[in-house]
Amino acid sequence: MSAHIPVTPSAESLAASARAARGKGRPPVHDWNPPFCGDLDMRIARDGTWFYLGTPIGRFELVKLFSSILRKDDDRYFLVTPVEKVGITVDDAPFVAVDFEAEGKGQDQVLTFRTHVGDTVAAGPDHPIRVERDPETGEPAPYVLVRDRLEALIDRKSFYRLVDHGGREEVGGGRWFGLWSGGAFFPVIPAAELPDG
């Protein structure tokens, strides 16, 4: 008797399964519990480019489809359909926030980000902004939570524009420069580190 050897699905079979499962709205990937089928040679680069077998995926609709079935379990990323679950590699964050709109001022401000795959998200308590600092260079890397533990790296041009919408607040006994959105304040950098203090 030969043992059943699971075969890792291809990008094509995943896309077909995702299309078949797609109803109206976002697929309920957290309700699906298919068997793990191994890792797929698919990678999301830091700039948001998706690669399959080392080649960029040039079709936007295919990237958008794959992004809709992306899930993060623990510290790993997976593409999930009702019948299969495969691991993929993500260099930094799976999404890139390429633009934003600001409405209101101060504590009433709302910052709405748009990702490279067309998702929009308004930052707030359920979609926080956080900033990581590179331990060697001190360079900030800002992120916004898009959905279900999946973040978007806020691109450099948007981050520079965000500075115009920031202000100073007391946080945890220190004064911080940060951003208000959706009634929450998100610290970005200690105010003392700014040129004007």
Q: What digits encode the pLDDT tens for the residues 37-79?
A: 999 999 999 999 999 999 999 999 999 999 999 999 999 999 9
Name every residue whose Cβ is closer than 8 Å to that of residue 111 and which is 6 or more positions away in sequence: 100, 101, 102, 122, 123, 129, 162, 165, 179, 181, 182
β-bridge mates for residue 112, sequence order: 101, 122
The pTM for the full model equals 0.87
| Structure confidence at residue 24 (pLDDT) | 58
| Structure confidence at residue 197 (pLDDT) | 54
Distance from C-alpha of 196 to C-alpha of 83, rounded to nearest angstrom:
56
Whether 7 shows a pLDDT value over 80: the answer reads no
Whether 6 shows a pLDDT value over 50: the answer reads no
Higher pLDDT residue, 43 or 21?
Answer: 43
Write the DSSP symbol of residue 15: H
Whether 5 shows a pLDDT value over 50: the answer reads no
Name every residue whose Cβ is closer than 8 Å to that of residue 71 and which is 6 or more positions away in sequence: 29, 30, 77, 78, 79, 80, 148, 150
Give 23-41 pLDDT, tens digit per residue: 656 788 889 999 999 999 9
Give 99-136 pLDDT, tens digit per residue: 999 999 999 999 999 999 999 999 999 999 999 988 88
Higher pLDDT residue, 54 or 197?
Answer: 54
Whether 147 shows a pLDDT value over 90: the answer reads yes
Per DSSP, the three-state class of 21 is helix
Which pLDDT band holds residue 22 (cuts at 50, 70, 90)? low
Distance from C-alpha of 124 to C-alpha of 5, rounded to nearest angstrom:
46
Q: Percent of the chain, pLDDT > 70? A: 90
Whether 4 shows a pLDDT value over 60: the answer reads no
Mean pLDDT (whole number) for 164-176: 92
| Structure confidence at residue 20 (pLDDT) | 67
